[in-house]
Structure 1
Amino acid sequence: MTPSKPWHHSLKARFIASGLLLIMVLLPVIGFTVNQAFERQIALSIENQLKAYMYSVLAVTEVEDSQLNMPPHLVENQFNVIGSGLYALISDPKGKIIWSSDSFFDINAPELNSPKAGESLFYRIKIDGVKHVTYSFTVRFATENQLVPLTIHIIKDESDYQFQVDEFNSTLWVWIGILMLVLVVIQVVWLTWTLKPLNQFSDEITLVEQGKLTELNQSYPKELNRVAKQLNALLHTEKQQRNRYRNALADLAHSLKTPLAVIKSQPQLNKDSQEQLDHINHIIGYQLKKAQSVGSNAWHLGVNVNDTAEKLVRTLGKIYHDANKDIDYQLHIDNQQAAIFKGDSADLSEMIGNLLDNACKAAKHNVLLSIYSNAESLTIQVEDDGVGLTQQQQASIFERGARADTYQQGHGIGLAIVSDIVNSYQGKLQVGQSAELGGAKFSIIFSQ
């Protein structure tokens, strides 16, 4: 009986978490990579476009006697439209603009870079706060006397470029998000189908633990089928061994009690001999009950505690009513759902029955049996309104041979049997004072 495990101890939870982590990391990385590649491709396309514009301007540029001669209009019409967003400028080696296209009319000249002769630069600048891309190329014009270096600058508004990038980003991330949702759904469905045999295996083991099944009946994949067969074989073997063990104990009890009864019936036995025979009989009864306890080997058995408790209360009520003892029996079930004891029904009846029997003997008028059950534990409490137990009695009551009662009935081994059965199931047996009734309170606690 083990406590509930954290979520990460579940294979299904691990598979789903790892798959979700992979999707949440891998797809954004792919999206970011594709976005960066698209931006680089757009930038290269614009650079090539500006380079083509530069060559068209260079083709009509002439220098005579160190003087620049440009036609009144350029072939590309955007250079001729004021404020079109496409500009052509020519600067001297000192960076001074000596010519500009009509489209650059009434615009403040920006700071431009002048590369070395025969080299080009592609970069970004701002004109009146607006981002632009620029392609600058320096060329030397040969005149009769000297080489005249000039730099041609082609400037274009970046808004078109940025619009394409933003539009692509928006579309990309929308589809990335849709793809992530689709993959999550596919993964959950796939994992649910893949792990379905494991879930069935777990459900059947739970039913076996609760005593609703005696073996695993489902057909499993070959990886689990062998485990299921071995487990069924173990269940059958354990059941057969338990039955043989109990039958042998029953035969032993019958074999011992008959000779004892014969010896005890002899008239010549003195009082001391009779007491020793009674003691031997009590020891045999105690050891047989202890040996018959299934204990933690009965993990696959499941008993409804509520039903067993109700039957015992009704039975004891009849017994002590016939004994002319007026006792009010109360049964409190905290959780109306069936509380399951993972063990043998005989062991459960033995524990609750002995505690109720002791409580009836000690009680004046009231006995309370309470059942508390949740996912972590099962608690059974028996309380009475008798005189209770002293601290010394509480400390020694479970010691072997100790006896806290002075009743004429019974053998005085009930609590020892209860203690041994509880220990065999790795449970806890506690004794204290009843806050509600004032007498003794015995509590049995089992981990689920």
Structure 2
Amino acid sequence: MKSSKPNASPSIFNSLRIRLILSALLLIVLLLPSIGIALNNAFKQQVLSNTQDQLSAYLYSVLAVTEMEQGELFMPERLLENQFNVIGSGLYALISKQVLPQPQNNDISAPNISGLTSTQQHQNAQITPVTPTVQPSMVSTTQILWSSNSFLGQPLPTTLPYPNVGKGSFSEINLDGEPYLIYSFSVRFAPSSTTSNDELTAASNQLQAITVHIIKDFASISEQQQAFSQHLWSWLFILMLVVVAIQLAWLSWTLKPLARFKQELQAVQQGNSYQLTGQYPTELQAVAKQLNTLLSTEQHQRSRYRNALSDLAHSLKTPLAVIQSQKELSPTSIEQISHINRTISHQLKRAQSAAGNAWHLGIKVLEVSDKLLRTLSKIHPTIDIKYAKSPEPNCIFYGDQSDLTELLGNLLDNACKAAISQVRLSVVQQEATLRFIIEDDGKGISEQQRDAIFERGKRVDTYEQGHGIGLAIVRDLVDSYQGHLTISSSSHLGGACFEVSFNQAA
């Protein structure tokens, strides 16, 4: 028998709804975190830039009160910014110089810092590495000249940045294992203007540059960045949920016509409707209209086809009945006329099968099988006909009701004729496969007879009673629906077991 190859399990990505939802979620998952990362990095850079400007302003306020006379540094006891006066405030000021044992170049002219405005000096600032400027093959040491009151009790830094004179640097250092931000600016004070030119030149060559350092605790800045990051990601997460909800609602509204279209197709498949009656968007309305036209045309053609076949059967049977009524006919002629009648009935039933149109036909199996069991119980009162497994109430056969009645009716009738006392019917539906199993407690069918039944052109009405012309009708119906028919021995009743299966994947 012909058997339809089961379709592979459809992938979830074949669904337009799944594709649209996944694409929307992918866009949200990629876009919003990218925006969050960009905003977080931009905020951190802005905080560092603001901190650099703040430390630069503090540095110039310290530099404004710094005095150098005869190589000696003079600083006030208290500074204008109160944080420099509070011990452990997190804001510190240092003035140091780099001691070189053997300087190689002392003819660097000392710029007069008083001639530069604070804005010009700030423009000359640049971010440099923490490592101090050291001449090759020389070892330098750091000498702290002054520190603010807030620096009391703090560990002395082992290394400090020393930018070039008139330049600034902004970097990070560690004090006792804790991170700090530091802004350093190197200056060289000019001698008094009352000194002679020769003395001025000699003094300038002997003066060494000093560096002013403003150090700020990085903990407060880190807390600020962490607070911003926490708020940012919290709001982005809430925004993500809101956008996902909006996307799902929008997709549900957009795809609602497709869901309604699917429901109407299922109603047509199950035989509850014959037309698509819903109003759809422009893109689907044309499809619905064409489907309705196809359904209507097919129904009219099938009706005309069956009427024509009925007329043909009537026009053939009437002359055959007249011929068969002749008394002078030999028994051989009567037998041949009876065979012609059976052949006409068989071929008419085969031609009337609706298997090619089964996609929009659907009937409940329980209604047909219950009716057949009640009818056959009256025809064969000595046979106990029952369900071994009854069909579910929503079990659907996608085909014509007369075809299913003909198929099950012939199998059950043959089983009753071959049975001794029992016939059992089982209807099993597993996903897209519908199976009918008919068992009896008769003599069964031998292996040779099973093979002969499936041979093309073999007359099946020559087998034992109970498996006659009806099996040919069953075989043709199963073929037309691309089903699968197998014959075996019943493990429960001991007789024959006929199993018919159909792949009804939508």
TM-score by length of 1: 0.95
What is the alpha-carbon distance in structure 1 between the residues aligned to residue 427 and residue 96 of structure 2? 96
Q: Could you say what secondary structure the match of 2:52 adopts? A: helix
Q: How many residues align?
A: 442
Gaps of 5+ in 2: 100-141, 192-199
What is the alpha-carbon distance in structure 1 between the residues aligned to residue 66 and residue 31 of structure 2? 52
What is the alpha-carbon distance in structure 1 between the residues aligned to residue 66 and residue 75 of structure 2? 6
Q: Could you say what secondary structure the match of 2:98 adopts? A: coil
Quote the offset at 1:59 in angstroms: 1.0
Instruction: Give the AA of the match of 2:96.
Output: S
What is the alpha-carbon distance in structure 1 between the residues aligned to residue 390 and residue 235 of structure 2? 53
Alignment match, 1:87: 92
Quote the offset at 1:302 in angstroms: 0.7
Give runs of aligned pairs for residues 244-259 of structure 1, distance below 5 A.
244-259=304-319
Higher relative contact order at CA 8 Å, sep ≥6: structure 1 or structure 2?
2
Instruction: Give the AA of the match of 1:153.
Output: H
Alignment match, 1:165: 225
Q: Could you say what secondary structure the match of 1:141 adopts? A: coil
What is the alpha-carbon distance in structure 1 between the residues aligned to residue 220 and residue 10 of structure 2? 58
Asked if residue 189 in structure 1 is aligned to residue 246 in structure 2, the reply is: no
Percent identical: 52
Asked if residue 219 in structure 1 is aligned to residue 276 in structure 2, the reply is: no
Conservation of the 8 A alpha-carbon contact between 2:423 and 2:439: yes
Give CA deviations for 1:261-281 in whole Å, capped at 9, x if unaligned.
Answer: 111222222222222222222
Give CA deviations for 1:205-256 in whole Å, capped at 9, x if unaligned.
Answer: 0110000011001111111111101000000000000001100100111111
Asked if residue 316 in structure 1 is aligned to residue 354 in structure 2, the reply is: no
Give runs of aligned pairs for residues 371-410 of structure 1, distance below 5 A.
371-399=427-455, 400-403=457-460, 405-407=463-465
Conservation of the 8 A alpha-carbon contact between 1:91 and 1:151: yes
From 136, 146, 149, the equivalent of 2:184 is 136
From 5, 18, 39, the equivalent of 1:34 is 39
Please say which structure displays the higher CA radius of gyration: 2
What is the alpha-carbon distance in structure 1 between the residues aligned to residue 450 and residue 291 of structure 2? 42
Give CA deviations for 1:30-73 in whole Å, capped at 9, x if unaligned.
Answer: 11111111111111111110010111111112222222222222
What is the alpha-carbon distance in structure 1 between the residues aligned to residue 357 and residue 92 of structure 2? 91
Conservation of the 8 A alpha-carbon contact between 2:170 and 2:181: yes
Instruction: Give the AA of the match of 1:149.
Output: A
Give runs of aligned pairs for residues 171-210 of structure 1, distance below 5 A.
171-210=231-270
Instruction: Give the AA of the match of 1:131.
Output: P
Instruction: Give the AA of the match of 1:298.
Output: A
Give CA deviations for 1:358-417 in whole Å, capped at 9, x if unaligned.
Answer: 11111111101111124321111111111112222222223343426322x89x221121
Asked if residue 61 in structure 1 is aligned to residue 109 in structure 2, the reply is: no
What is the alpha-carbon distance in structure 1 between the residues aligned to residue 391 and residue 24 of structure 2? 38
Give runs of aligned pairs for residues 52-131 of structure 1, distance below 5 A.
52-94=57-99, 95-110=142-157, 111-131=159-179
What is the alpha-carbon distance in structure 2 between the residues aligned to residue 19 and residue 334 of structure 1? 46
Quote the offset at 1:26 in angstroms: 1.2
What is the alpha-carbon distance in structure 2 between the residues aligned to residue 148 and residue 204 of structure 1? 94
What is the alpha-carbon distance in structure 2 between the residues aligned to residue 332 and residue 339 of structure 1? 16
Quote the offset at 1:81 in angstroms: 1.4
Aligned residues: CA RMSD: 1.7
Asked if residue 235 in structure 1 is aligned to residue 283 in structure 2, the reply is: no
Conservation of the 8 A alpha-carbon contact between 1:124 and 1:132: yes
Gaps of 5+ in 1: none
Quote the offset at 1:439 in angstroms: 1.2
Conservation of the 8 A alpha-carbon contact between 1:334 and 1:373: no
Give CA deviations for 1:174-230 in whole Å, capped at 9, x if unaligned.
Answer: 111111111111111111111100000001001100000110011111111111010
What is the alpha-carbon distance in structure 2 between the residues aligned to residue 414 and residue 117 of structure 1? 112
Give CA deviations for 1:423-445 in whole Å, capped at 9, x if unaligned.
Answer: 21122112212111111111111
What is the alpha-carbon distance in structure 1 between the residues aligned to residue 390 and residue 95 of structure 2? 92
Question: Which of 331-340 and 194-203 deviates more?
Answer: 331-340
What is the alpha-carbon distance in structure 1 between the residues aligned to residue 222 and residue 369 of structure 2? 78
Q: Could you say what secondary structure the match of 1:299 adopts? A: helix
Conservation of the 8 A alpha-carbon contact between 1:139 and 1:150: yes
What is the alpha-carbon distance in structure 2 between the residues aligned to residue 69 and residue 335 of structure 1? 105
TM-score by length of 2: 0.84
Instruction: Give the AA of the match of 2:495.
Output: G
Question: Which of 362-371 and 396-405 deviates more?
Answer: 396-405
What is the alpha-carbon distance in structure 1 between the residues aligned to residue 430 and residue 321 of structure 2? 47
Give runs of aligned pairs for residues 296-307 of structure 1, distance below 5 A.
296-307=356-367
Alignment match, 2:407: 351
Instruction: Give the AA of the match of 2:218.
Output: E
What is the alpha-carbon distance in structure 2 between the residues aligned to residue 445 and residue 366 of structure 1? 22
